[in-house]
A = this chain, B = another copy of it.
Amino acid sequence: MRARDLLADFPVVALDSSAIEAARLLADQDLPGLIFVDDAGSPFTILPGTQVLRLAVPAYCQDDPALARVVDEAHADRFLRGLDGLSVRQCLPKEHRELPVARPEATVLELAALMARTRSPLVAVVEGGRLLGAVTLQALLDRVL
Residue A120 CB within 8 A of the other chain: yes
Find chain B residues with CB under 8 A from A121 CB: 32, 48-50
Contact between B71 and A137, CB atoms less than 8 A apart: no
Residue A80 CB within 8 A of the other chain: yes
- For residue A98, give the distance in angstroms from its CB to the closest CB of chain B: 10
Residue A112 CB within 8 A of the other chain: yes
Query: In the complex, which of the residues B48, B65, B140 contacts A117, with contact meaning CB atoms closer than 8 Å?
Result: B65
**Given A53-B115, A116-B50, A145-B80: A107 in contact with B26 (beta carbons within 8 A):** no
Contact between B141 and A50, CB atoms less than 8 A apart: no
Contact between B137 and A77, CB atoms less than 8 A apart: no
Secondary structure at chain A's binding surface: helix, strand, loop or mixed?
A: helix
Find chain B residues with CB under 8 A from A50 CB: 48, 115-116, 118-121, 137
14 extra interchain contacts, Cβ-Cβ under 8 A, other than A53-B141, A54-B112, A65-B113? A23-B141, A27-B145, A30-B138, A48-B50, A50-B119, A53-B112, A53-B137, A65-B114, A69-B107, A72-B107, A76-B107, A76-B108, A77-B108, A119-B119
Find chain B residues with CB under 8 A from A12 CB: none
